[in-house]
Structures are given as structure tokens and as C-alpha cells.
Chain A
Amino acid sequence: QQQVKQSPQSLIVQKGGIPIINCAYENTAFDYFPWYQQFPGKGPALLIAIRPDVSEKKEGRFTISFNKSAKQFSLHIMDSQPGDSATYFCAASGGGTYKYIFGTGTRLKVLA
């Protein structure tokens, strides 16, 4: 019940495309869903996060869509650029704890 399942494992898109990364969770007590971006050789950094009281959140070219009934959330990257090539992790937290449960990651490559 504590797992966060992330797909796909890897993704290749052309510049300008819209990669979509999906995550599913089981614990309905989770109430904070962040996405982290990690470049090679660096630590992960917060990209965008959402609470379950809204269905969508946008920050620049990055959008989280949240479906509470399906217990799923996804990251969309609009007009993707080669500089977006990185590994993306979803996570979930809440239910009386601020610990994260991370997904297994998606390696994104955006071709020029």
C-alpha cells in the first residue's frame, strides 16, 4: 500500500514534443505529490508539486494532472527542449508522515 508506481522507465521525444510520465499510488492518505528532476551527477531537485484538492497545476512548461478517484497523477512537459533531458521522479507523502515514497524514475531524452 506504500508503493508509487511510475511509468515509463524511459522516454525519447523530439524537440517540441509533449512527454507524459505517469504515476499511481495506493495509499489514500497521501496528500502531497511532488515531481523531482535529476541531471546526471547531481542530486534531485523539486520541479513542481500538487495537493489533491486541485486537478491540475502549471508552472511554466510543466503541468501536473491529478486524478484523485483513480489515484493517479502525471507530469506533462510542453514544448520539450534538449535541456529537459533528465531523470524524473514522482513521489508521494502524507498520512501523518512527511517521508517520501518515490517512484522508480523515468529517464527522458529530448532529441534536438
Chain B
Amino acid sequence: NAGVTQTPKFQVLKTGQSMTLQCAQDMNHNSMYWYRQDPGMGLRLIYYSASEGTTDKGEVPNGYNVSRLNKREFSLRLESAAPSQTSVYFCASSDPRIGSYSYEQYFGPGTRLTVT
């Protein structure tokens, strides 16, 4: 199993350009998440999808859109990139079930995005 995969690994954009970050998981998980990681700020949730067909805003959704394409794939789109969106982006997945002990999230390797 590959776990959670993300593409691309690195990307440089100019201000105003758009791009889509791709994420896929092969663990048959229901829930998927997008985070951004900035120095001193920890991991902040951008959007999440509790199950196929649903998406919800997280802590920092402005400037982003998401699509839960199917159970495996969850993409993050920047419509008009800004320098403030320079960050490392992580996708994660989990399979929380009522009565289960663990809400463990499995993370991908990240996409390092620079907006100039």
C-alpha cells in the first residue's frame, strides 16, 4: 500500500496563477483533510471531507477550494495564488468509526509551494 500520496512535491507559482494540489489514499478511508504548515504556526486545517460527497471549511479556508472527487481522491485548488499562501501543504486521511479508540490520521509527504 502506498498510503497517502501527494502531487506535486514542489511548485513555484507567480502571484495570481492557479493550481490544483492532488491527494489520493489507498486505505479505503472515509475522511480526508488538507492542512498547511507554517513555521511557528503548527498544522492548520484548511478543509476536510468527512465522507465522499461532503466537504467543510476548517480553520483557514480563505483562498482555497476543494473537491472530493471520489472516496480515494481529495484535491485542493488555489484559484489566484498569493504570497501568503507560500507554505507546505499536507493531505491526510482517517477512518474514524463510532466506538473506535483511534482517530489516527495518516499524512502524505507534503507539497512545498512557493508563491512569488
Contact of B107 among A32, A45, A51, A104 (CB under 8 A): A45
Binary CB contact string for chain A from 52 to 65 against chain B (1 if under 8 A, 0 otherwise): 00000000000000
Binary CB contact string for chain B from 76 to 103 against chain A (1 if under 8 A, 0 otherwise): 0000000000000010101010000111
- Which chain A residues border B104 with CB–CB below 8 Å? 34, 46, 49
**CB–CB A104/B42 < 8 A:** yes
**CB–CB A93/B101 < 8 A:** no
Say what secondary structure dominates the interface of chain A: strand
5 smallest CB-CB distances across A and B, nearest first, come from A43-B107, A98-B96, A104-B42, A102-B43, A102-B42
25 contacts between A and B (CB under 8 A): A6-B42, A9-B40, A36-B107, A42-B109, A43-B4, A43-B90, A43-B107, A43-B109, A43-B110, A44-B43, A44-B90, A44-B107, A46-B104, A89-B42, A89-B43, A93-B103, A98-B31, A99-B45, A99-B48, A99-B58, A100-B43, A100-B45, A104-B42, A105-B40, A105-B42
Q: Is B41 an interface residue (CB 8 A)?
A: yes
The CA of A44 and the CA of B108, in the complex, are separated in Å by: 8
Q: How many residues of A contact B (CB 8 A)?
A: 23
Q: Is B44 an interface residue (CB 8 A)?
A: yes
Binary CB contact string for chain A from 23 to 58 against chain B (1 if under 8 A, 0 otherwise): 000000000101010000111111001010000000
A residues with a Cβ closer than 8 A to B are 6, 9, 32, 34, 36, 41-46, 49, 51, 89, 93-94, 98-100, 102-105
Q: Name the residue of chain B whose CB is nearest to the CB of A100.
A: B105
Contact of B103 among A9, A32, A89, A104 (CB under 8 A): A32
- Which chain A residues border B42 with CB–CB below 8 Å? 6, 89, 102-105
Q: Name the residue of chain A whose CB is nearest to the CB of B4.
A: A43
Q: Name the residue of chain B whose CB is nearest to the CB of A34.
A: B104
